[in-house]
Structure 1
C-alpha cells in the first residue's frame, strides 16, 4: 500500500459505521444508514452494532457528542479526528484494491 499507516484492514461493519458517523448519529440511525448505504445488503443487528461501538469508543475512533441539543435519552456518536484518519486510510486501501483488481482483470500487470 502506498500510504503507510498503523491500522489493520477494517471489517465491513466497522467501515460502514465509521462512514455513517461522518454525520453525528444515534445507534438506530447508524443501523438505518448502513442498510441504506449498502442497498440493504448489510443489516447490523443491535448486538453487532453496540459491540462495534464499544470497541470504537475504546480505540478512540468515535466519541459521544457533546451537543447540547441532543436528546438526553439517546446517545449520539461522532467521529474523532483519529477515526476520520482511519476512515480515510481505509478508503485509500480499498481504492488500491479496486484499481489492482481492474488492472488484473484486464490481463495487465502493475509494472
Structure 2
C-alpha cells in the first residue's frame, strides 16, 4: 500500500467527497501530505478497483466515497506493518545510546 492510499483510507474513516478528502488527508497527516486532485482521483480509482472503497452517494456532480470492509482490513494490516517497522527501528535508538 502506498503512503497516499494509507492516508486516503485514514481520511475515509467517515465518508467524504473529493474536496473534503484533500483537506482530511492534510489534516490527518498534520500537513505533511498535500494531495492534488490528479493524485487523489488516481488513488481513488485504483482503490475502488481493488475493492477498498466504494461510492456511497453520487449526486451527479459530487461523489462521496466510503471504505469497504476489505478497505478496513487493509488499513488495519498496513497499520500493523507500520507499527512493526517502528518497533524494529528501536535498534537505531539503542545504537545512538551506545555511541
Scaled by the length of structure 1, the TM-score of the pair is 0.79
Counterpart of 1:48 in structure 2 is 39
For the aligned residues, what is the CA RMSD? 1.3
Q: Per-residue deviation at 1:50?
A: 0.1
Q: Per-residue deviation at 1:105?
A: 2.1
Once residues 90 and 13 of structure 2 are traced to their aligned partners in structure 1, the CA distance between those partners, rounded to angstroms, is 28
Structure 1's consecutive aligned runs of 4 or more residues displaced over 6 angstroms after TM superposition are none
Select 2:48's aligned residue among 57, 63, 66.
57
**Could you tell me whether the CA contact under 8 Å between 2:52 and 2:71 is conserved in 1?**
yes
Deviations 1:12-66 (A, max 9, x none): 1110001111100001111001111112111101000000000001011100115
Q: How many pairs does the alignment contain?
A: 94
User: Any gaps of 5 or more consecutive residues in structure 1?
Assistant: 1-9
Deviations 1:80-107 (A, max 9, x none): 0000000000000000001111244213
* Structure richer in strand, relative to its length: 2
